[in-house]
Structures are given as structure tokens and as C-alpha cells.
Structure 1
């Protein structure tokens, strides 16, 4: 058996060549020996020979969206195991969990389909260092399902030390669908499950825990019966919980946060969102959520689920930042599976007599700009070659235009369309539900983030969005701008080529 010494940050499938007459090949599983060497272990698989590039350089690896790595083996097409013990194989990622900020680090936890929580840290919300998985499944609680995390600033748990506040993670123990707690006193590097788990036996799942300052207490929201509901609980010590109220017609992955309406801190609103990001707006009085506006959709894409916002963001930052799972993406023959959305800032704006939750990429993305192409105040028609000199596969595209005499204005990107149609006043991005977009002072504004395997569209500064996964055309053409019908008037067009967030 061949051996190859690899660094901790490498990922590789070692290729074994066979005579052309032999059609079957061996998929090589890699395990790490105690001395740091990699042993390739062949398992039969009827497929062509494959080689996986070094970690983060795989052909379909998202280059500025987070996706998970493998640690003790390399296996193509990791999946959720259909047979017990159910759970994700290494390299799988789904729901963002436990997004929390502490001491200069943005912690990103995400579900490994119950096997464990994926864990990564960042100083800037762009460049992520993935750490070994946390909160592995165990025989008593079963799989570690989704949840949330907070900083225990007042040491109500008693787990804090003289040097460090305790980070607390809340998750569902899947065996009996009970709510559990774990803690860390070394800035999230190691975690201990609370010895007296569960802390709450109410089924079903996805505990969201937050500190309610007016009453100096913790509030937990759990998805579960009756029907599809969110159930609110309170606690002073995180061990004894009292039921407060029930909010109906919500499904999985609860989140709740406050935002000022139109930036006015005298008009603070609470936003309660469910698994697909749809949301209601109102007031929370510490016991009950009171609705002021009916549920609205947040994202119109086909790959957007399990939203969560960061907790404990410093006041000097002040942003409400959200990520979601781009559920259902395809990554054939890769040693990873699934990705998360790009981090977005949330804001609450008054639009056409409604309060609308808006999503827009974090400003840190400017650190990734490699080269910028810019045009202003131009008339563009069918057959233009405006973008012909642009290269690469990672882009931040921003355009503001007057449709004028055009029937449609669109971009062809990696073989997929993002198009505004004048007659319908709607934007379609690949498979999104049509996004209704009205002229704002006679103009349409689109922002399009393009990664190797995803296109995210933000219409009119994030008033409506669409997140979609794609499979690119290998060695396909650069982005193309097309106009159907008469000319369109472009006030501003910027195409920024982006750098990868991953180390080479």
C-alpha cells in the first residue's frame, strides 16, 4: 500500500492506475496514522479513476462560501447515512448552528446531520479556519441535532472561570428529542456536555436561546407540538425552564432578533423567523410574541434554509448578520457536500406600506476584490460585447439600470440566467420563484454574487433575494450581459473579479 505524508490542511485521494481493460477502479479511503502519514485504503466502486485536488482547491469547492472538510478520511460524495447510526459523513454540512461572537472571533457551528457540529472561526467573516468537529453524537443522547449558542456574560450557568466567560451551546438530543446544553471555557476549542442533560424534556427540536435583558432571564424557543409551532420558555439558571406561550404556524430552526425600522432606534421591532427564512414582525414582551404584520417570504431561491443570526455581536459593530444552508446543492465526486450562504446584514425597511426584512452582503467582501471593471451612463443593446474581456469564475456584479425600451436585461453566468423582464417586472435567477421587483425612482438595482457552485441575487438593495446552487459549465465562457428588444440605459455597472478565501 502506498503512503504519502500530507499536512494537516491537505485533502487527497491517491490515484491507482489500472490497465485500460480493467473498467472498475478503487475509491481510496484515507486514514491518518499516529505518525501523521496517510494510508490509502481501497474499497471497490464501479467508477472511473478520480483524483481529488488538495483541500480547498477541488474543482467544485466554493471559493468564498463556507463548506466543510474531512478530517480522518477522504471519501467522495459524503452523504447522510440511511442506516443507523444516522448522521452525516465527514464533509457533509447542513443547518448553521450556534453562530456566536466572542473575543474577536466569529464562531460558525453547523450541523453534520447529527453526527457532530462542524466548527470554524474567523476574524473577518470571510476567511474561515475550520477546527475539529464538536459535540459528537453519544449513546445516551443520540445524534446532536441543531441548536444555538450564546456567551454567558453573567455566569448564570456557573461554568465561567476567572479568565473566560462560558460559551454555551444548546442542542437537541435526537434519541428522545430532548433539549440539552454544553459549555466551553477555552474560547470554544473544547466542549463538555452538561452532566445532568437534558435541561428540558419538551419535544421536539432546534432550541434557540437568547438573553432577555428587561427581565434578566434566558428565553428558549423550541419547535414542536402542538402542530407546527414555536414554544417559548424562560429560565434564570438555564436548568429549570417554565413554559411561557405558543406561537403557531412556524416550522423548524427558530430565530428571533431586534431591528430598528428604517434605522430609527425609537422604532425597534422584533423579528421571528422560521426554517425557510420567512418571518413575522411585531413585539415580544418577555412572554408572548405579538404580531404586527403577517408572515413574509425572505428568499425566493430554491437553495435557502435553516437561517440563523449571530448572537453577542459587539455594540460597536451593531449589525445583525445572518447565514443559511444552501440546501440541495450538487457537488458530484467531491470530498464535501453542501455549502452555506454568504454572510448578509439584515435591515428592516418600509417599502410600499410594508415592513420588509432586507438581506445584503457584508461590507467585508471588498477585501476579496481583485480587479474591478466599471461603466457609467451608457446605452446598451442586443449583441453588445461589454463583458468580453472579463475572466475568472468568482464575481460580485452590481448594476443599476433603466429598462427603457428593452424587453429584458440579463446576465448569462456559468451557463445560467439572471434576468429582469420589463413586462412582468420580475427577476428570475435560474430556478427561483419569480421575484417581483418594482422600479425605484425609475431604476432597477441588482447585486449578484457568483461562486463556482452558487448564484445569489439581491434585488433593490436586498429587498428581495434569491439563493441558488448551480453546476458550472467546465471552462465555460465569461459572464455575458444581454439585452432583448430595444436598448436599456445603464446608470452604473460594476463587475468585480474576486479572490478565493482559502489558503493555497
Structure 2
């Protein structure tokens, strides 16, 4: 949870309380159902709340046959907004699950969690004895772990698939605070040591251990990170016998190393990198390891698509989430790098596909002439060998995405050709969202951008000859 409150507020909320007392799945539902998700800049396949402000992703879990997302909601006072999905693509805004004591919602919105505000955290799924201690039942439950400002690390729970949420009566369970520091607990199960691990923003990142999510013991500290830690394990270069731990912070900085259940140790030769070089990537969170259905081994990540940059003029709502990506680790130039790639499920919303084979692109050639869209995926691969071009670019409405062949940069950030002297670029473009991935996800760039609402033109251009290896265009279906 970023301490700054730079949201502009919404005129809509002068009327939000006039006739809004609806409930969805027993959550408080402070939204006007007439909102149709067709406002200027509203992402058509990126999640955003129906109305009001959102920021950090605070809990991602799969439970009860669906994916659950808790996120910070509310400009003046942070709450726990809540959404669900059956496929990670079509999200339903279920209203507000976690309502703090200082809520600005009407009195009939039950204040159901500890603390003045709900600051960032995470979520896990438990059952049996652990569930019994927290919920009073051994039934499987979602446990949200959050910072209740003025309290500390707190628990909230639901054992009816997210329909209702309750506060743990013994809150806080740790990290006592009079304000909001320490904050942002990330909890995961560490199988080798058979305990829960809590990583929290506290003098860098501090680790605690627990057998029951209630009693937490200090483990260690590392001088790394600012806000919203996340931590997980990934195979290096696809080798499941060579697993590495990744620790990241809200800004997208990450370390790669080893974790023994007590201490995180960065690999000595490993540098600190940013997993995304765009201006609007913050507070990314992943589904807990082993939590996905059908033994899906992926680490799937969703981030807040902003970095306190003032927005793009959204009306009715403010801010949104990134498109879900699958994470990986790849050795690149003797360093281990995070890879981010849109989840494969995106192919299920492809429409109006167009494919181009290998050919030489010359000055003045626009292979995308006649292609119009405001929501699409575009994948390209180029061979730079023998190219006479200095700049290669895609223009989307009023936005230029340029690769500089001389400096080897995409959007002014380094993207080196691979061993075959090729570069690959993938764009996700939505009504107000731009995500760019390069060279199998080793490059990632996230930006909110005010694409001209009335323009849907796309152009591929270069200032010299360059060899196109392949290009695919996919219109993406609206997911609302």
C-alpha cells in the first residue's frame, strides 16, 4: 500500500449513496448497475472496478471453483474490493468485501474488519485445524492477511466461497502499529520447513514464521524492498531440478537467490533488476504456489496498472489492473532475469485473426493498412541482419512504439537481439492500456495511456529495409 494518496476523487461519488444498497454474494455493492464499461479509456479486457478508485492487488487465490481477487478500493479510505472469475479473463466486480472501521460507506455497510483502513496484504486457502482456529470450522476457507491501520497484521476469512467475510476475533496477529508501518504482509506456505512464511515491509523485508497463521515468530531481515513484497519459486531455464527463489517489491525490483525457511540469500553474482520498465507497474501479486487448479505449476501475476502517476482522465472509475501474466526465469547475459508473458488463456478471446508471412519491409510500406482496432494483441518478429533501418515502429492511434536499431532499445529501454540477431515484440493494446513484451518476456513495459478515443488506426513503419519473420494480429473480445 503506497502511503501517498494522489487520487483525484470522482464527481460520480456525489451521487453514489443516493440509491445504492444492493448486494452481490452478500458483499456490500456500492456501484450503479447502469455503468456499462464503455467509458473512454475503460479497458475492455483489463479488470477495473465498476466505480471509484482501485489500487494494489491484495489477495489472489483459487478456491471453490473460481479465482478470487481482493484489491484496494476507495479513494478517501482504503477498503478491500472483491472480484471473481472462472477463467482469469472475465472478472465480475462483487462489491466490497472488507469494510474498515473508518469506512465512508453508508451505515448499512457493516464494518467487518479491524483497523481504520485496509492496507495491502495477501490471501491463502486453508482447511482442517488451521481453519478451525481462525473460523471455528475445519471447512476450507479463504484467509485474507492484511494491514489494518492503527492495529497491525490482521486476518479476515470466508468459508463460503467468498460470499461473506468475517474478521478474526484475535486481531491483530502480529506487527502491531499505531499507523501503517510495518505493512503489506505476503504469506505463503514453505513446504520444506512445514510452516507459513510472512514477508512484510519492515526495515526492508522482514520474515516471520508460523504453524497456524496466528502466532508469528521472527525469522530474519534483508535490507531490500519498498512496500508490497511478494515471493515465490521458479525453475531456471525450465529446469525443475534447478529452482530459484524470487523476492520482489512494489516497484518491481527483484532479487534471485535461495530461501531455507529462515533466511533469503541473494545469489552473489546476481544483480538487482526491474521486472517491468514502464511507468505504470506497481504492487504486483501472484497466486500462491500450488494454489492453481489441476496441478497447474504456473506462477500467475497481476499488478496495479499505475505508479501514482495521475491517471489518464478516467471518469466513473479510477485505475485498473494489468492483464494476468505467467512468470518465468531465464539466463540472459550470465544473469537470471524474470520473464513476463500474457497467460495462454488470452487465445480464447481472439477474434478477427490476421497472419503475415516472412517478407522484406521497405520504407513507406504499412502491412497493417486497413486493420483497425482499439483492443488487440499484435506479435511481431524481425531479423535485424542486413537492415538499413535505424527505427522500426508501430503507431497505435496517437501512440508511437519505436525500436531503435542503433541503440538496441524499445521504448527507450534496452532490448538486445537474441543469438540469431532477431527481436520479438508483443503488444497488448486496450482502450487506455498498453503492455509491451519483448524477446520471450525478458522485456516488459506497462503504461496507462490516453489513446485517442475516436481513433482505431494501426500502422507498422520503418525508415529503411528490415526483414519481417512473422506477424500476427488478434482482435480481442470484450470481457465484460
Q: Give the direction of change, closer, same or farther, for the CA distance of 1:263–1:323 in structure 2 (3 Å limit).
A: same
Q: Give the direction of change, closer, same or farther, for the CA distance of 1:34–1:191 in structure 2 (3 Å limit).
A: closer
Distance 1:242 1:320 in 2: 27
Distance 1:35 1:120 in 2: 16
- Indicate if the aligned counterparts of 1:415 and 1:472 stay in contact, CA closer than 8 A: yes
Give how far 1:437 is off. 2.5
1:442 and 2:421 equivalent?
Answer: yes
Pairing partner for 2:357 from 354, 376, 401: 376
Distance 2:232 2:335 in 1: 18
Distance 1:320 1:272 in 2: 13
Q: Give the direction of change, closer, same or farther, for the CA distance of 1:396–1:152 in structure 2 (3 Å limit).
A: same
What do residues 425-447 of structure 1 show as CA deviations (whole Å, max 9, x unaligned)? 1101xxxx523333341211000
Higher relative contact order (CA 8 A, sep 6+): 2
Give how far 1:31 is off. 2.3
The alignment covers a number of residue pairs equal to 435
Distance 2:96 2:213 in 1: 24
Q: Secondary structure at the match of 1:156?
A: helix
Q: Give the direction of change, closer, same or farther, for the CA distance of 1:267–1:450 in structure 2 (3 Å limit).
A: same
1:197 and 2:171 equivalent?
Answer: yes
Q: Where does 1:228-243 land on structure 2 (aligned, <5 Å)? A: 229-243=204-218
Q: Secondary structure at the match of 2:357?
A: strand
Pairing partner for 2:283 from 270, 286, 306: 306
- Indicate if the aligned counterparts of 1:303 and 1:329 stay in contact, CA closer than 8 A: no
Match of 2:273 in 1: 296
Distance 1:181 1:489 in 2: 56
Distance 2:263 2:326 in 1: 26
Match of 1:78 in 2: none
Match of 1:146 in 2: 120
1:214 and 2:192 equivalent?
Answer: yes
Q: Give the direction of change, closer, same or farther, for the CA distance of 1:35–1:212 in structure 2 (3 Å limit).
A: closer
Q: Where does 1:323-334 land on structure 2 (aligned, <5 Å)? A: 323-327=302-306, 328=309, 330-332=311-313, 334=315
The runs of 5 or more residues in structure 2 that have no matched partner are: 1-10, 24-32, 103-113
Match of 2:154 in 1: 180
Distance 2:174 2:136 in 1: 25
- Indicate if the aligned counterparts of 2:433 and 2:449 stay in contact, CA closer than 8 A: yes
Pairing partner for 1:124 from 81, 87, 102: 87
Q: Give the direction of change, closer, same or farther, for the CA distance of 1:135–1:223 in structure 2 (3 Å limit).
A: same
Pairing partner for 1:110 from 71, 80, 83: 71
Give how far 1:163 is off. 7.9
Pairing partner for 1:420 from 374, 385, 403: 403
Q: Give the direction of change, closer, same or farther, for the CA distance of 1:222–1:55 in structure 2 (3 Å limit).
A: same
- Indicate if the aligned counterparts of 1:427 and 1:437 stay in contact, CA closer than 8 A: no
Q: Give the direction of change, closer, same or farther, for the CA distance of 1:53–1:138 in structure 2 (3 Å limit).
A: closer
What do residues 369-418 of structure 1 show as CA deviations (whole Å, max 9, x unaligned)? 11011111111112113212112211100000123221111100121111
1:388 and 2:369 equivalent?
Answer: yes
Match of 2:474 in 1: 496
Q: Give the direction of change, closer, same or farther, for the CA distance of 1:457–1:34 in structure 2 (3 Å limit).
A: closer
- Indicate if the aligned counterparts of 1:329 and 1:339 stay in contact, CA closer than 8 A: no
Pairing partner for 2:19 from 32, 38, 49: 32
Match of 2:140 in 1: 165
- Indicate if the aligned counterparts of 2:127 and 2:139 stay in contact, CA closer than 8 A: no
Give how far 1:260 is off. 0.7
1:67 and 2:48 equivalent?
Answer: yes
Match of 2:4 in 1: none
1:274 and 2:257 equivalent?
Answer: no
Match of 2:57 in 1: 96
Match of 1:3 in 2: none
Q: Secondary structure at the match of 2:331?
A: strand
The runs of 5 or more residues in structure 1 that have no matched partner are: 1-12, 15-25, 37-51, 71-90
Give how far 1:29 is off. 5.2
- Indicate if the aligned counterparts of 1:397 and 1:447 stay in contact, CA closer than 8 A: yes
Q: Secondary structure at the match of 1:365?
A: helix
Match of 2:346 in 1: 365
Distance 2:278 2:410 in 1: 11
TM-score w.r.t. length of structure 2? 0.86
Pairing partner for 2:335 from 354, 368, 373: 354
Distance 1:477 1:34 in 2: 38
Give how far 1:34 is off. 6.5
Distance 2:16 2:426 in 1: 41
Give how far 1:368 is off. 1.3
1:133 and 2:108 equivalent?
Answer: no
Q: Give the direction of change, closer, same or farther, for the CA distance of 1:370–1:285 in structure 2 (3 Å limit).
A: same
Distance 1:271 1:143 in 2: 29
- Indicate if the aligned counterparts of 2:271 and 2:335 stay in contact, CA closer than 8 A: no
- Indicate if the aligned counterparts of 1:155 and 1:166 stay in contact, CA closer than 8 A: no
Larger radius of gyration: 1
Distance 2:202 2:137 in 1: 38
Match of 2:109 in 1: none
Give how far 1:154 is off. 4.5
